[in-house]
Chain A
Amino acid sequence: MRGFANLMARGRDCCEVTEDAVDMQAGTDALLVVRAQLGERPALHELVNRWHEPVSRYVRSMVGRSGAAQDVSQEAWAAALRALPRLEQPERFRPWLFTIVRRAVLNHLRDRYAEPAAAESTDAGSADEVAAVLDRAQVAEGLAAMPAAERDVLTLFYLQDLALEECAQVLAVPVGTVKSRLHRARRMMRDQLVRKGYTHD
């Protein structure tokens, strides 16, 4: 069994990339955003296609693999597309999008915490589905048991590859707070995984 350090490193590395590649991705997004703002529907479709899966993944990690995750994703996309023509900095599309998605997630969680019985049944259903990739499944397992704030920052930083500054923008907190939350979240995740039998190696 791979150790926790390995897991987290791979979580950050597996779909990630050099700074140049991130810049190139931001440039591609910026061009797609401007074309979409101009009214080019193919560009709008391409933009949604590019970000549909990352958004779904983030929402699933926050609300569980239930039908609710799909509803939250749809709500987030509707809000994002409505606001897209007003986005003034196209190169900041990624943190802007995740700010909107996070708002939709928080709205959902607020509603769900107001109905504890419904929330329990939703979570029970999600435990049966196992992620296809082992590393992601292990991280997702650890994430599910974490408090929302720590789960949020781990998901954005490790699974969505947002930079510290972008995480800070999405979470609306200073970069220092992101770092301290990440530190705390990593410790909690490590403790959880160690309790479940994963080793440190």
Chain B
Amino acid sequence: MTDHLDRLLSGMSLHRRIAQTCTGLAGAAGAAVVATLWATEPAGLPVRTQAAFAVLIMIGLGWAAWAGWVWSRGPVFALDRVVAGWLGVVACSITAAGTVVIAAARGKIGVTIAGAVVGIALIACAGRVLTRARAHRARLLRQRTELEQPSPTPEEPR
């Protein structure tokens, strides 16, 4: 096998996929939390602080976009989908809870409700992705079991 193929295959390893997914989810979650902090500030923030928040949000979204781009370029195997699904559910849950807690602690009812609604919607989406990934994997596992069974030898005509 050539070096290029070796590199191609090593780029598809599961731990790389998990690292890419975690990076993307962390970026998106970080951007959401910073946006919530910004939206729930009781007083107007100085311009430099606003600029810093904006940069942090852009960085977070940039990592999320990068992870999405990487995922779209490579093959998405069944196990990768399931792992990514679980990571998505966990990340959405933590982000939604964090957003709601921050908004509620600052007494912003509107932001709290909006955060809760968006959070529940995201968790539902992530849950659906996970369910479909598990069903797909279960179908492939059944197929593998069938293929692993030795095919019956045809009976000789009498």
Contacts and interface: CB of A to CB of B under 8 A. Distances in A.
Contacts of B5: 48, 52, 74, 77
Interface in B1-50: 1-2, 4-5, 8-9, 12-14
Given A48-B1, A84-B75, A85-B76, A38 B13 contact: no
A42 to B, nearest CB: 10
Interface stretch (A1-9, A28-36, A187-195): A28-36
B147 A39 contact: no
Contacts of B78: 37-39, 85
A40 B148 CA distance: 15
A45 interface: yes
Interface in A42-60: 44-45, 48-49, 52
A102 B38 CA distance: 54
B4 A74 contact: yes
Interface in B105-157: 137, 140-141, 143-144, 147-148, 151
A82 B73 contact: yes
A39 B79 contact: yes
Q: Helix, strand, loop or mixed for chain B's interface?
A: helix
A83 interface: yes
B68 interface: no
Interface residues of A, number: 27
B9 A44 contact: yes
Q: Helix, strand, loop or mixed for chain A's interface?
A: helix
B148 A31 contact: yes
A184 B5 CA distance: 36
Given A31-B147, A74-B2, A77-B8, A36 B73 contact: no
A74 B14 CA distance: 21
A38 B79 contact: yes
A41 B9 contact: yes
Contacts of B2: 52, 70, 73-74
A64 interface: no
Nearest to A80: B75
Q: Among A34, A48, A77, which residue has the most Cβ atoms of chain B within 10 A?
A: A34
29 contacts: A30-B147, A31-B147, A36-B77, A37-B140, A38-B77, A38-B79, A38-B137, A39-B78, A39-B80, A41-B12, A41-B14, A44-B9, A48-B5, A49-B1, A52-B2, A70-B4, A73-B2, A74-B2, A74-B4, A74-B5, A74-B8, A77-B5, A77-B8, A81-B12, A81-B75, A82-B73, A82-B75, A83-B75, A90-B143
Given A39-B80, A85-B78, 15 more contacts: A27-B147, A27-B151, A34-B140, A34-B143, A34-B147, A37-B78, A38-B77, A39-B79, A41-B12, A48-B1, A70-B4, A74-B2, A82-B74, A83-B75, A90-B143
Interface of B: 1-2, 4-5, 8-9, 12-14, 73-80, 137, 140-141, 143-144, 147-148, 151
Interface of A: 27, 30-31, 34-41, 44-45, 48-49, 52, 70, 73-74, 77-78, 81-85, 90
